[in-house]
Amino acid sequence: MCYVVCREIEINAVVVAPSSQHFLEIDERCTYPGCTVCLMYCPAEGSIVETKTGRSMVPPPQEVWTENKRWPRVP
């Protein structure tokens, strides 16, 4: 889901890797911790880890989905 979400908000930092396994990779376009939207839709516990601290971001810790972190969606 991180791929879909990142594409929708037009950051496009999650890409299909050009290898035959086609893993999803996060590239330098990612603006974390400014943007944390993908974390709220990732279903794979422990699959996204904060580099600095090594802590798991999935499921997302409470402080990354506070009101001021959310991406506004308007019709």
Partner 1 sequence: MPASPSAKPRAALAAQLLQQSEQEAAVTPMDAVIEFARAGKFTNDHCFRLLARLWTLKRMLYYVYGGWAQGINLNDYPPGVAYLFGKQTYDESTQEMQYCDEILRRRLVPTQRALFAHPYGQFAIATRTGAYIFCLRALANYPHHIRIAALNLGAKVIELSWTERFAKLLPDESLCAVFHSQLAETRSHILMGRHQVEQYIHKDIDIELAKRLCVETKRDYLFFLEETARFVLGMAAEKAGEVTVQADID
Partner 2 sequence: MHAILKDFLDKWVYPTGFTGPGVDFRLRQTERCLPLWDKLVLQALKAAETDLASGSDEYKAARARGGYAAEGPFMSLKQMSTQILSVSTDQQPKYIDLQRMRARQIWDEVKHGQLHADVMLRGGFIKREEELMDDPRANTQPKLSYFGMTAMFPHIHPLARAGQHYYNESMACLGITATLSVIDDDLIRHQLHSQSAEELMHFMEGKYQIDAYALTPEDQKPIEEVFDFLLRPWAPEPSRALGGAA
Distance of CA 21 to the CA centre of its chain: 20
* Choices 17-25, 26-34, 36-44, 48-56 (CB under 8 A): range interacting with partner 2: 36-44
Phi-psi region of 54 (alpha: psi -120 to 50; beta: other; left: phi over 0): left
How far is 24 from 66, CA to CA, in rounded Å?
26
Residue 31 binds partner 1, judged by CB under 8 A? no
Instruction: Report the nearest approach of partner 2 to the CB of residue 17 (Å).
Output: 16
Site of interaction with partner 2 (CB under 8 A): 1, 4-5, 7-8, 36-45, 59-60, 65, 67, 70-75
